[in-house]
Amino acid sequence: MQSNTKNIIELKDVSFRYNGGAVLEHVSFSVSKGEYMGIIGPNGGGKTTLLKIILGLLRPADGEVSVSLEKNEIGYVPQRASSYHLRFPATVEEIVRSGRTARLGLLGRFGKKDAEAVDKALETTGISSLRQRLIGNLSGGEVQKVFLARAFAGEPKMLILDEPEVGIDIAGQEEFYTFLDKLNQESGLTIIFVSHDIELISHSVRSVLCLNRRLLCHGSPREFIKEEYIDQLYGKKVKFIFHEHKE
C-alpha cells in the first residue's frame, strides 16, 4: 500500500468488473483521518465490493487505490457476521483474541499486552461478562459486538464495517450507532460502514457516500439524504418512514 499524508484512503477512477459485468465504474473519492462515513446504495450497487477493494481483498480492473495504513491497522467487521460460524467451538475471548493475530506477526505469541488489549476491547463493547460463552450461544446483537470487539482488539486506526446492523433489533441498532459515534468523537477513530438504513445513517455519520455502480454523491448527510437524491440512487420513488431517535 502506498502512503499518502493528506488522506487515509484515496481512490482515483476505480472500476471493477465481475464476469464481464460492471460492478463499479469510475469511482473517485477520498477519506481523511477521523472521518465517520456511511455508504448507502441499492443491492448490487457495489458497496461491499468497494469495501473489499479498500481492504485489498479485491483488485480493481482500472484506477488507483491508495491506503496509507498497514493491513494490521485496519479493523474489519464483515457482512452478516452474526449468521456465520455459529457451530464453531470457540469462546468469545478466543475470537476477540484472534483480532491480535496480524499485529503479532508470524512467530509472535500471545502475551500480557495482548491480554490487556482483549480485556479493553471486551470492556469497550460491554461484553466482558460474555468472555467464556460460546459464540453459538449468543444473540445476533451480542455476536455483532464480539466481532466489533475483535476488530478493536487489533487496536485499529480505521474501522470498516459491512452492514453491522444485520441481526440486531431496532433498539440495539440505535445503541450500536451511538456507540460508534462516541468512539469516533472521543478517540478520533476513522470509521467507514455500509448500511441499508438511510434514516439511521442520516442521524449518525458526518459524511455519506451514495453508490450505485457509480458514485452519485459524497458529502454531508444533510445535503444528500433528500428524496431527490435517494430516488436517483435507488432508481425509483422511495417512501421515507421516519422513526424517532434518541438525542
Distance of CA 43 to the CA centre of its chain: 16
- Our finding on whether 85 is near another protein (CB under 8 A) is yes
Distance of CA 146 to the CA centre of its chain: 14
Question: Binding string, 153-192, against another protein, x = CB under 8 A?
Answer: -x--------------------------------------
Scanning the structure block, which residue is given the C-alpha cell 475471548?
A: 93
- Our finding on whether 56 is near another protein (CB under 8 A) is yes
Report the C-alpha gap between 114 and 101 in whole angstroms.
Answer: 10
Q: Whose Cβ is closer to another protein: residue 94's or residue 181's? A: 94
Interface residues for another protein in 12-51 (CB under 8 A)? none
**What is the distance between the terminal CA atoms of the chain, rounded to a whole angstrom?**
39
Neighbouring C-alpha atoms within 13 Å toward the C-beta of 159: 28
Report the C-alpha gap between 73 and 30 in whole angstroms.
Answer: 18
Of the candidates 32, 44, 64, 88, which one interacts with another protein according to CB under 8 A?
88
Of the candidates 7, 15, 72, 178, which one interacts with another protein according to CB under 8 A?
72
Length of the chain: 247
- Our finding on whether 84 is near another protein (CB under 8 A) is yes
Size of the site for another protein (CB under 8 A): 32
Of the candidates 45, 60, 78, 164, which one interacts with another protein according to CB under 8 A?
78
Residue 119 burial by CB count (10 A; 0-12/13-18/19+): exposed, middle or buried? middle
Question: Binding string, 92-111, against another protein, x = CB under 8 A?
Answer: -xxx--x-xxx-x-xx--x-
Angle, helix 170-187 to helix 140-153, in steps of 10 degrees: 20
- Span near another protein by CB under 8 A; candidates 7-15, 131-139, 204-212, 226-234: 131-139
Q: Which of 100, 69, 90 is nearest to 4 (CA)?
A: 69
**Binding residues for another protein (CB under 8 A):** 55-57, 71-72, 74, 76, 78, 84-85, 87-91, 93-95, 98, 100-102, 104, 106-107, 110, 132, 134, 136-137, 150, 154
